[in-house]
Chain A
Amino acid sequence: MSTLKKSILVLVLLFGVSALGNHVVAQSQNKLNDAEIAHIAVTANKIDVQTAKLAKKKSENADVINFANTMINDHNAVIDKAVKLVKKLGVSPQQNDVSKKLMKQAKESRSKLQKKSGDSFNKAYINHEVKYHKAVISTIENTLIPNTSNAQLKNLLEGVLPALKTHLKQAENIQGMLMDDGGY
């Protein structure tokens, strides 16, 4: 890969990682409320489930499929927990600029992934997962948790972090294996 291509790739990755965080920070200057935070949390989990479903359809790599299955199961478990909690609290998750932007970005990412196949798809999907989990972890730690008023919602966000960090480690391990397999 040429130096120029590498530089472009680094810029694209950096933009992707920071996009979610920047947007949430911008929105949080207007102060997100708990109903909006709940909507962002559920949306972020739904996005990863949808991307994983695409990976299950397109990949034939056992590690990638196993990872995608785990993403579907784990993020659905978090969604269930969040939905039960908001019902218990009597809160209706409110759509907001951040969740709308997240859905728009996710649609674009899935559309790009959809065009790839084989090894190229596996690498693109796992790179996306590394980037996405880094962004979500940073947003939860630095923006969502500090802005959440309700203790139970805050507990849920804190409780989800170890799973997200484990997903990131798994994705990075698979990323390394795919690199060893043929390089970028």
Chain B
Amino acid sequence: MMAAINSAKLVIAFTLLLLISCSGQQKKDTTDTHVIRIKQMSFVPETLTVSQGDSVTWINKDIVAHNIKSDSPEGWKSPKLKQGESYTVKIIGETNYICTLHPVMKGNIQVQH
């Protein structure tokens, strides 16, 4: 009888451990911050893949000022960033973006689900 109860306890404990471990794999409970450097008139990297809810920080390393404007429905736009200044946005969905001061500078953020 005692052996049967011990076996049942072991099965329950194992099942609980399995459930906890599976739930950890299904959903990331922390967000990351990714960095895009603006240097030599380019966004580096030009394409970046992040998880939904992650943050992205742009740092301007160029002599000249830049900004970042998204074409996403949220429509965020940074202020003008001088050399050394940065701007951070929480990413909700995929977006293309440009520097409106130099519209030939383009970048893209992909979101993995």
Q: Which residues of A contact B (CB under 8 A)?
A: 66, 69-70, 73-74, 77-78, 81, 159-160, 162-163, 165-166, 169-170, 173
* Of A69, A81, A170, the contact of B104 (CB 8 Å cutoff): A170
Q: Contact size class for B?
A: 10 to 19
* Of A70, A77, A160, the contact of B102 (CB 8 Å cutoff): A70
**CA of A80 to CA of B103, assembled, Å:** 24
Selected interface stretch from B29-37, B45-53, B62-70:
B62-70
- In the complex, the answer to whether B64 meets A77 with C-beta atoms within 8 Å is yes
Whether, in the assembled complex, B91 has its beta carbon less than 8 Å from a beta carbon of chain A, the answer is no
Interface string of B12-50 (1 = CB under 8 A from A): 000000000000000000000000000011100000000
> What's the minimum C-beta distance from A83 to chain B, rounded to whole angstroms?
13
SS class, residues of chain A in contact with chain B: helix
Interface string of B83-102 (1 = CB under 8 A from A): 10000000000000000111
- In the complex, the answer to whether B104 meets A163 with C-beta atoms within 8 Å is no
- In the complex, the answer to whether B41 meets A163 with C-beta atoms within 8 Å is yes
> What's the minimum C-beta distance from A170 to chain B, rounded to whole angstroms?
6
- In the complex, the answer to whether A73 meets B101 with C-beta atoms within 8 Å is yes
> Chain A residues with Cβ under 8 A from B103's Cβ?
170, 173
- In the complex, the answer to whether A70 meets B41 with C-beta atoms within 8 Å is no
> Chain B residues with Cβ under 8 A from A162's Cβ?
40-42, 62
Known A77-B64, A81-B63; judge A169-B101 contact (CB<8 A): no
Whether, in the assembled complex, B105 has its beta carbon less than 8 Å from a beta carbon of chain A, the answer is yes
